[in-house]
Structure 1
């Protein structure tokens, strides 16, 4: 790896550990690079929570490694820890603003947390860097559609629609008598018309 994920000064890695043996209480066997490799393998096998544990150890030992932080962010995202994933994707993107995948990860994590403005900003950067990536473009379209819906571009949300909020007690909502969008027609005027005419 080109960014220090393979261990180095301060990692505590060295000979002395047998495969499958824990060196200290709770510390997995191997060095930082081994933790990274095993974590990525667990993530690929669909075990994000287990991957997150190994990758968090690797990231603690090598905090400057973008590869480890990106893999940790992916594991956290897949495990549903969206705030933690956002922070790690953010750290990678700030260290290398041209990292399209980190920008994409930052954007989708922000969307999961309901921050669609931030999501749109970072997804747009990812799409600008890699316009051929269909899943980048799809995520940006979805975020922009959510922002447009929230801004009322598609008309008011109807009761039962995702994101619809009930009006406070005592206020008329859509479809109630006297409120906006009332379905009651004009008052009948047949008798009055006859008297006037």
Structure 2
């Protein structure tokens, strides 16, 4: 994607969002995060842009930024199970398992049929138990 003179990708915000999601789905998470960052700066209230950005940040191992973005989504809508799940995963990857567990538990409670949610919760709880047993 070429950039215009202001350093922004060509097109409008929707084009940036679509391109960012395409990059994310193609596995180029770092490039997706860049494009989606431009989209978020232009439309900071867009939930879909922020969620895609949080995913791109997570997949490019920018866990603190991903957690901050997911946290904003949770604060805005506490019943967003995916935002709780993403926040819990990002916190877990940062080694903050105590902080991750409640968010993963909330996501699993809201969507108990999700193997991803319940599996992540089991893993974090097992890590916490193993650490407790070592002390």
| TM band (smaller chain) | over 0.9
Higher helix share: 2
Structure 2 distance, partners of 1:66, 1:97, is 13
2:98 counterpart (117, 122, 141): 117
Moved over 3 A (4+): 20-23
Whole-Å Cα distance in 2 between the matches of residues 89 and 113 of structure 1? Answer: 14
Task: State the secondary structure of the residue aligned to 2:75.
Answer: helix
Tell me the residue number matched to 2:66: 85
Residue equivalent to 2:7? 26
3-state SS of the aligned residue for 1:151? helix
What residue number does 2:25 align with?
Answer: 44
Quick one: distance in 2 between partners of 1:145 and 1:82? Answer: 21
Give the aligned partner of residue 107 of structure 1.
88
Q: What runs of 5+ residues in structure 1 fail to find an aligned partner?
A: 1-19, 158-197
CA distance in 2: counterparts of 1:80 and 1:22, whole angstroms: 25
Identify the structure with bigger relative contact order (alpha carbons < 8 Å, sequence gap 6+).
Answer: 2
Q: C-alpha distance in 2, partners of 1:112/1:62?
A: 28
1:150 to 119, 125, 131: 131
- Unpaired segments of 5 or more residues in structure 2? none
Q: CA RMSD in A?
A: 1.3
Work out the CA distance in 1 between the residues paired with 2:2 and 2:90: 36
Q: CA deviation at 1:21?
A: 6.3
* TM-score (normalizing by structure 2): 0.95
Q: CA deviation at 1:135?
A: 0.8
TM-score by length of 1: 0.66
